[in-house]
Amino acid sequence: MLCETCYDQAIADNLTDARNFVANHDLLFDTICLGCTDINRPLIDDMLGSSE
């Protein structure tokens, strides 16, 4: 989930494909704001393998 500003920036930077899948998650995390990072923290932790 992204705020409208971060979503627009991700689309403008072509970070997603037609189905909104991200090929370079590191670049996406560098692009999104701290609020979006906090909202997505459980997903980010799961992707990094640090959740239990």
For 12-30, the pLDDT digits (tens) are 999 989 898 888 888 988 8
Q: Amino acid letter at 25?
A: H
For 34-46, the pLDDT digits (tens) are 898 888 888 777 8
17-20, long-range: CB < 8 A, 24+ apart: none
pTM: 0.69
On the 0-12 / 13-18 / 19+ scale of CB atoms within 10 A, 17 is: exposed
On the 0-12 / 13-18 / 19+ scale of CB atoms within 10 A, 38 is: exposed
